[in-house]
Structure 1
Amino acid sequence: MSARELIANDPTWLSLVKAVLIFALLLVITILLIWFERRVLGRMQHRPGPNRVGPFGLLQTVADALKLAFKEDIRPKLADNWVFFLAPAISAGAAFLAFAVIPLGGQVNLFGYQTSLQLADMPVSLLVVLACSSVGVYGIVLGGWSSGSPYPLLGALRSAAQVISYEIAMGLSFVAVILFAGTLSTGDIVDAQGQGGVWYAFLLPVSFVIYVISMVGETNRAPFDLAEAESELIGGYHTEYSSIKFAMFFLGEYVNMVTVSAVATTLFLGGWHAPFWLGGVGGGVLNTGWWPLLWFLLKVVFMLFVFVWLRGALPRLRYDQFMKLGWKVLVPVNLVWIVAVVAVRTMRNTGVGTAQLLTIIGIVVVVVLAIVLLLPNRPAASDVEEVPVTGGDHPLPPLDLEVPKVPKRKPVAAAPAAELSAEEEGVPDGRA
């Protein structure tokens, strides 16, 4: 029986138990992720990180959460109360919902029922993931708008622009995976990688790299954390938030990191299947039972380490550089890559051999390089003829940025004291 059929036959109480277990798992991973990030960044920056509350500082995140829960809940006077309250709930809820279609493992025996470690599976699971990520930005936008302050509003607008931009590149990176797997179901995509024996990260490296860049921009993480730029927008969209609502925004951010890492694992890293060198051990016993959950979590931890690594290694980009990367680099490269994948798949299906395929690819690469090299070079700045700028009937300020040189004033020599008149010496007229 397939995994989808097993999930469809689950009783209602078992589905509720799965939902509670996934919710608890995400909370535990979030607590450990915050500690993990602070410890790894401390190592990178030659400092200890949290090491006092609990063994190795493991309870520091719990202490911070309790502290936030008991802090005063402040609401600005100009805030829209209902929207101000619902925004963090939307942001956190959308991140949790996307995890419902992620397969955590294969078939297991749970409370006496044979089922699959997945809450729900459907023919369009990837569209559910994209829909949840799209809804999540509403929490950020509404939170910035309802605060009644300009800085949160500017941070919310930035976040909406970057999420929309990078969501396009992320969606396009799914296309090549769908073409290879022939389905939109996350469970079937994992099965296709298990049957083929090769992860799509190796078959589709361009899609994998673009997805990794897009998931960092999608989650507003460094070096793409422009919606929370402290040097420009104080704290971004959550500037006016405090107490538990402030914690919910951060909960949504970290759960979203886990979700996009799980999607990367599902689509490109073989999902819950064991690595190549372990897949055949004991006749594939490491791909049965509860072992797949371990491989899935290890791959997710690796992708989360990439988030932390990028934060500790790269500086924040300027906003124009960030948008240029999304619209002028990732989207065009992704479109060209999709065309190339479709062409290669079509030629393989029509019986074109490997040698002929490599020859065609080489010819295309040579033609593209020739076109790039033969394009006329842009004229240098010194060769461009300067056109005088006139304002017509309107006066124009000076257009040069050079400060005019002011001649130094010559010091005036003081007159000898003997030649000073009585009036210059301050003596009244007619008095000695």
Structure 2
Amino acid sequence: MNRRTTMYDHRIVAKAMDLFHFEEHSPGMVFWHPMGLRVFRGIEDVMRRVYQSHGFEEVRSPIALSRSLWEKSGHWGKFGNNMFVVDSLQQDNSLDGEAQSADSQAINLNYALKPMSCPAHIAIYKAHKRSYREIPMRLMEFGIVHRNEPSGTLSGCMRLRQFVQDDAHIFCREADLLDEISNFLNMVQELYAAFGYEKFIIRIALRPEQRMGSDELWDKAEAVLMNACQELGYAYELSPGEGSFYSPKIEVSLEDRLGRSWQCGTIQVDFNFPQIFELSFVNSEGKLEQPVMLHQAVLGSIERWIGILLENQGALPLWLAPVQVAVASISNKSADWAEAVFARLKRMGIRAELHADDATISKKIRELSERKVPLIAIVGEREAANNTVNLRRLGVSAQEDIAFSQLEEELSSLGNKVSVVR
């Protein structure tokens, strides 16, 4: 591993920023620290706004679902060995008195922690009869999922056993498919650019050897994805055999500063689950019609997205950083101005810290730089007299003496830089 790759290893950066850590007690699962959870919640807030602006409703579903549901969806047969199974003995009170035998008094129930949310969202769709007026129905969830990955494959945030997905599902007509795929790709462009990624590659993952459903449905689903990319003007590559066992999918891979490719966003066109689960809605003619189901995630795993972001930049962008500005006083003589600057930043909604203790300014700067704080506003007697700050930007050697009002203006326009996620 070269020095540049090591320097940007997300685990090393996260330790310096005090974001999270891992423990042997829960391998493949993240222990989030207060600063890290600020980042995590910040991404959730961004995603929530984007999904809502694109017509999605947020839902919440259980993390454990019965074996019978996973068998019906096909996940039990396909991924059963990679699912966390919970055995439960439940007392059977359906029989009276002597009719109960020792063998009939307890029923062995199998549950599995969900590796994805699609069966749960299907259950929400089926909770009552649906009308064409509700179609397309767009559901999304910050789904906590579990996958029992082999211990040798675990790699920080990049491969986990527990993580959170922006797990979304759309129930629509075939005539809606182009618009929904376009909607997804617009979300990808907006969000990836907001996080600093301008380049991405589209691959269409085609039918695997082991799959459910007829070749006719697979032909139709694959054609939908290819035709959509062509009509929307997106170049794509084909990945034979890489689709899910129930549907083909578009996979979106971004490129980081080191030239590495990371597959993140996906959208799948699924004709099989609507058949298996007998999904329907009442169309405008009063007849039952079967919807198509789309499975999508823009970021994929939020934990993995944070890891990729840390490795791409070696820090976090100003708008997402857990501490955006640290105010550091040189001496007690400038402490009042430091406190005033800090208070004004807090009133603006800026995530700020005040460092007005007796430590030397060089020590304060060193420790704050190691923590990857984007902006350090240094204040001394001269700055206090002139209503200015001496500004240090992370990764920039030159310092700036600027009026505090200028810094306020810069920070107040911060929202415009990420306007697509507000």
Which category of TM-score, normalised to the shorter sequence, fits these structures? under 0.3
TM-score (normalised: structure 2): 0.19
State the structure with more CA Rg.
Answer: 1
TM-score (normalised: structure 1): 0.19
